[in-house]
């Protein structure tokens, strides 16, 4: 098994490509050791000192570090991923859904057409580009002209995420929807 690695715009996150499917649908963002209990692979990865986050996409695993250098952490992470795939164990245990708890979306009924367009633009234009960088962005709400998005994986805590929101996504949405005045991250 050959696992490729790719840098992400977030220097604390590295993308690992095992060359096979990781999640059949959705994404899963695991931000601490307690939450890793839902995934045997995440438990292995959180067992490596310095690992502070694991994010699964359709064909990649993005690992975030809190301490240490990549040249020291990378061999242990590659070993854990390889061991996991060789064991045949599932990525997510039990019957838990792959898409992590999204929480409720919020918007006023009068804005439902605008929200449908926002979701379509995010799905078609934003999410594929963000997945290339080892993350995900999902719609959470629309109120008073402000679009609220949830940033996960490499996008969460990335130094360039504010620029991505302000200059990329906000400009895209405002181009198609004059009602949109701002884009903000949730949380």
Q: How confident is the model at residue 184 (pLDDT cuts 50, 70, 90)?
A: confident
Asked whether residue 92 is assigned to any structural domain, the reply reads: no
Residue pLDDT, tens place only, 130-144? 888 888 888 889 999
Task: Report the distance separating Cα 78 and Cα 73, nearest Å.
Answer: 9
Mean predicted confidence (pLDDT) in 143-155: 86
Residues 71 and 15 in one domain: yes
Residues 58 and 11 in one domain: yes
- Run of H or E including 163: helix 161-163
Helix (H, G, I), strand (E, B) or coil at 116: helix
Residue that is last in its domain, among 87, 118, 153: 87
Give residue 135's pLDDT. Answer: 83
Low-confidence winner among 23-37, 149-163, 165-179 (lowest mean pLDDT)? 149-163
**Percent of the chain surpassing pLDDT 70:** 93
Buried b (16+ CB within 10 A) or exposed e, 21-58: ebbeebbbbbbeeebbebbbbbbbbbebebbbbbbbbe
Q: How confident is the model at residue 70 (pLDDT cuts 50, 70, 90)?
A: very high
Give residue 187's pLDDT. Answer: 64
Residue 68 backbone zone (phi > 0: left; psi -120 to 50: alpha; other: beta): left
Task: Give the contacts of 145 (CB within 8 A, at least 6 positions apart).
Answer: 179, 180, 181, 182
pTM of the predicted protein model: 0.76
Name the range with the highest mean pLDDT among 66-80, 85-99, 167-181.
66-80
Alpha carbon distances (Å) from 35 to 8, 18, 52, 117: 23, 22, 11, 33
Domain CATH for 135: 3.30.300.130
Domain CATH for 54: 3.30.1370.70
Q: Domains in the chain: how many in total? A: 2
Domain that holds residue 123: 106-185
Task: Report the distance separating Cα 9 and Cα 11, nearest Å.
Answer: 6
Residue that is last in its domain, among 36, 56, 87: 87
Residue pLDDT, tens place only, 101-110? 456 788 887 8
Structure tokens at 134: 């080892």
Residue that is last in its domain, among 40, 55, 87: 87
Alpha carbon distances (Å) from 161 to 23, 130, 140, 157: 24, 10, 17, 7
Give residue 100's pLDDT. Answer: 43
Asked whether residue 119 is assigned to any structural domain, the reply reads: yes
Q: How confident is the model at residue 66 (pLDDT cuts 50, 70, 90)?
A: very high
Residue 139 dihedral angles phi and psi, to the nearest 5°? -70, 135
């Amino acid at each position: 098994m050959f696992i490729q690695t790719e840098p992400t715009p977030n220097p604390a996150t590295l993308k690992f490509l095992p060359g096979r499917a990781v999640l059949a649908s959705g994404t899963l963002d695991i931000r601490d050791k307690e939450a890793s209990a839902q995934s045997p692979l995440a438990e292995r990865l959180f067992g490596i000192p310095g690992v502070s986050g694991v994010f699964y996409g359709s064909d990649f695993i993005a690992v975030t570090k809190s301490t240490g250098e990549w040249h020291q952490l990378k061999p242990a992470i590659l070993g854990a991923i390889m061991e996991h795939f060789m064991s045949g164990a599932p990525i997510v245990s039990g019957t838990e859904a792959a898409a992590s708890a999204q929480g409720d979306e919020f918007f006023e009924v009068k804005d439902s057409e605008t929200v449908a367009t926002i979701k379509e633009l995010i799905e078609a234009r934003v999410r594929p580009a963000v997945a290339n960088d080892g993350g995900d962005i999902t719609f959470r709400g629309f109120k008073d002209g402000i679009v609220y998005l949830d940033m996960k994986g490499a996008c969460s805590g990335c130094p360039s995420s504010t620029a991505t929101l302000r200059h990329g996504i906000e400009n895209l949405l405002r181009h198609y929807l004059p009602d949109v005045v701002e884009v903000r991250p949730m949380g």
